Amino acid sequence: MAEGLERVGLLKHIEEWTPATSSRTLLPSPQDPVLNQAPLTVGASSYFDFSASGRQNAFESEGQPDVDGMVDVSSPQPILGTSSTPHNPMPVPPRSAPLRPTLSTDLHSQVKSEMIGANGQKKQVIVLGSGDFGLALANRFARASYSVLVVSRNPSRIRQQVREFGGKVATTEEAHRHEEDMRVVVVALPFRIMQNLDDDSPLPDLLEGKILIDVSNREKPDMDPGNRSQAEILQMQFPRSTVVKAFNILSSHTLSQGVGGTQVPVCGNDDEARAVVSEMVQDLGFIPQDLGHLMNAREVENMPFVFFTAWKPALLLSLVIWGFFFLITIINLDVCLIVRNHKTSNATIDWSVFNALAKDNVSTSCASTALFLLSLCYLPGVLAGYLQLFRGTKYSEFPCCLDRWMKGRKQLGLIMLFNAAIHGVCELGGSERIGSVGSERIGSRGSWRYPTFLASGIYSLLLACILGLTSMRSVSVSLTWREFSRIQRYMGWMVFILAILHIVFLVWGNFFNFSFECYVPSIGQLVILLPLVTVLLKLPLLLPSVDTTLTNIRLGCFVSSAHQNG
Ligand SMILES: NC(=O)C1=CN([C@@H]2O[C@H](COP(=O)(O)OP(=O)(O)OC[C@H]3O[C@@H](n4cnc5c(N)ncnc54)[C@H](OP(=O)(O)O)[C@@H]3O)[C@@H](O)[C@H]2O)C=CC1
Ligand SMILES: [Fe+3]
């Protein structure tokens, strides 16, 4: 009776301790180190990482799709970095879908009370296995003030190490005898070991009726989505326990470095067990992503095998663009020069023109690629604007290619910065071509065009660097949303305009000079076309009446009667 009353009291405390986890998104607590980070979605993080801050890439500053693939500019609209838009959303059963209960209500409250600990007692966890991952996780739990018991076949081997971080060590038998109250077990053993347990293994007794956190990863990706996950197989093996998949996307290195803030998918068939594990994830400084049913562990177990998936199209496209411009520079700057010299003086071929291939040609190709990619970052936003004006609403999905293009802008933006930086560094050493053909192209060093050409290039690059820096999570968290969105939106366009001016001053006077001496237009003529088209398309959207309509649409108003009726 007294025990029952104590449980009732504890339960109240538990409700305060355990925030509602009925939504798919879990927010960090105010005490959490990752405070101020946005609601979670499935997403990747990148070097300029926005995923956790919920902010978006500067190159996505217009008409970026929200989670549903629709456009919402009323949400934060940042620039370089990753967006909070999921790049690989996985199917999550509706929250209302009945989940198979595996723990009784009594057991839930018992688990929670034992986890929380009455009267300020420490939360408790058993870590099964003392490998790299098991020990790193145990250490991390201990640092988060958990009472940790590491279960090992050979406790003496790790006793000293575990004591140093404040944990305890036991064999399976000892753990079962003395610590049977501990209700959450992290199964940090290789999956094949769990599958091949001896008949006389004491492990099943220890695991019976407990919440089992399956941290295991596959040895190779599962190509067949119909195949069961390791977590589901573990659940079938221990039907009287409750398996929750979590922590598998982390590495032992991340855990021991004390790094936090990563989104950690949590899935399991039992709501309460998932809530308990989500709390544990949060206690360790990570951000739990409640992915619902254990079936979703199939996707979660494939996550560690994701390798630059989001980057592949952007990298491939950039390589093709770069290769194209490199070829043009060779034809335009080197072969043409040889042909011209040969025609005029009938001299022997001067191969020395190729001496600058590694620096000047690469630099010019990088500059051209950077400007082209910058256009590709802004063009989809402009096209999205027209589409929204045409449809009169933001509540409709973009065509698939436009949607994918918009989601790829962050990668395009970062590759743009990389190319621009190479160009900037190469030009620091001085270009042989500026010296030789500069006076012909951009005026003598005494004229206004040369310094203006240089200045626009330098300022464009520096502002692009600032954009990149403000996109880093450590910098962006120090800015208010307003500061951040203003920097990202306006500075992004300034970078673009300055980069265009840089090229305009380069091709000044020669833009309409289509001599096609070598049957190709000049590189300046080629590279300026797409940026000009982007700016020209943007201009009508800036007209006050159009701008107001578009803003209203993006604030969620319907301005088309067709859509209102539809
Ligand atoms: N390493 C990592 O970065 C990550 C690992 N994981 C997952 O975590 C789990 C553990 O990984 P990791 O720590 O690297 O693996 P290890 O191989 O380093 O360690 C596994 C531990 O399991 C115990 N063990 C080994 N054989 C047996 C056996 N026959 N019976 C009982 N226990 C045994 C041992 O502990 P003892 O001798 O004390 O009994 C051993 O230290 C795996 O499922 C892995 O997929 C997930 C994410 C990242
Ligand atoms: Fe330049």
Q: In what order do the strands lie in the sheet with 146-151?
A: 168-170, 146-151, 123-128, 184-187, 211-214, 242-245, 263-268, 287-290
- The closest alpha carbon to 497, from 386, 374, 363, belongs to 374
> 75 C-alpha vs ligand 1 centroid, how far in Å?
43
Q: What is the DSSP string of 353-368?
A: GGGGIIIIIHHHHHHH
> 293 C-alpha vs ligand 1 centroid, how far in Å?
25
> 41 C-alpha vs ligand 1 centroid, how far in Å?
29
pLDDT class of 181 with cuts at 50, 70, 90: confident
Q: What is the model's pTM?
A: 0.60
Q: What is the pLDDT of residue 176?
A: 83
> 320 C-alpha vs ligand 2 centroid, how far in Å?
20
* Comparison of pLDDT for 325 and 21, the residue scoring more: 325
> 334 C-alpha vs ligand 2 centroid, how far in Å?
18
Q: What is the helix (H) or strand (E) element at residue 479, kind and residue range?
A: none
* Long-range contact set of residues 334-337: C-beta below 8 Å, sequence gap at least 24: 334/361, 335/518, 336/517, 336/518
Q: What is the pLDDT of residue 513?
A: 64
pLDDT class of 317 with cuts at 50, 70, 90: very high
Q: What is the pLDDT of residue 115?
A: 53
Q: At 206, list the tokens.
A: 């220890």
Asked if residue 136 has its Cβ within 6 Å of ligand 1, the reply is no
Axis-axis angle for helices 449-470, 432-442 (nearest 10): 120
* Ligand number with the minimum distance to the CA of 128: 1
Asked if residue 252 has its Cβ within 6 Å of ligand 1, the reply is yes
> 427 C-alpha vs ligand 2 centroid, how far in Å?
7
The mean pLDDT value of the chain amounts to 75
* Ligand number with the minimum distance to the CA of 175: 1
Say yes or no to pLDDT of 499 above 80: yes
Percent of the chain with pLDDT over 70: 70
Give the burial class of 181: count Cβ atoms within 10 A of its Cβ; 0-12 exposed, 13-18 middle, 19 or more buried: exposed
Residue with tokens 């203003």: 486
Residue bearing the CA closest to ligand 1, atom 18: 131
Say yes or no to pLDDT of 75 above 50: no
User: Can you say how many angstroms the Cα of residue 450 is from the centroid of all Cα atoms in its chain?
Assistant: 40
Asked if residue 254 has its Cβ within 6 Å of ligand 1, the reply is no
Q: Which atom of ligand 1 is nearest to the CA of 135?
A: 13
Asked if residue 195 has its Cβ within 6 Å of ligand 1, the reply is no
- The closest alpha carbon to 174, from 146, 151, 148, belongs to 151
> 127 C-alpha vs ligand 1 centroid, how far in Å?
11
Task: Return the minimum-mean-pLDDT range out of 5-19, 224-238, 252-266, 275-289.
Answer: 5-19
Residue bearing the CA closest to ligand 1, atom 29: 193
Q: Alpha carbon of 79 to those of 23, 133, 530: distances in Å?
A: 28, 36, 20
Q: Which atom of ligand 1 is nearest to the CA of 304?
A: 47
Average pLDDT over residues 324-340: 84
Task: Return the minimum-mean-pLDDT range out of 54-63, 267-276, 293-302, 326-335.
Answer: 54-63
- Measured in degrees and rounded to the nearest 5, phi and psi for residue 268 equal -175, 160
* Ligand number with the minimum distance to the CA of 130: 1
pLDDT class of 512 with cuts at 50, 70, 90: low
Percent of the chain with pLDDT over 90: 40
Say yes or no to pLDDT of 511 above 70: no
Q: What is the pLDDT of residue 264?
A: 95
Asked if residue 396 has its Cβ within 6 Å of ligand 1, the reply is no
Say yes or no to pLDDT of 443 above 80: no
Q: What is the pLDDT of residues 92-135, one digit of tens each?
A: 443 333 333 344 445 455 555 555 444 567 899 999 999 999 99
Asked if residue 239 has its Cβ within 6 Å of ligand 1, the reply is no
Average pLDDT over residues 36-61: 34
Q: What is the pLDDT of residue 224?
A: 61
Say yes or no to pLDDT of 83 above 70: no
> Measured between alpha carbons, how far is 249 from 315 in angstroms, rounded to an integer?
24
Say yes or no to pLDDT of 18 above 80: no
* Comparison of pLDDT for 310 and 368, the residue scoring more: 368
Give the burial class of 2: count Cβ atoms within 10 A of its Cβ; 0-12 exposed, 13-18 middle, 19 or more buried: exposed
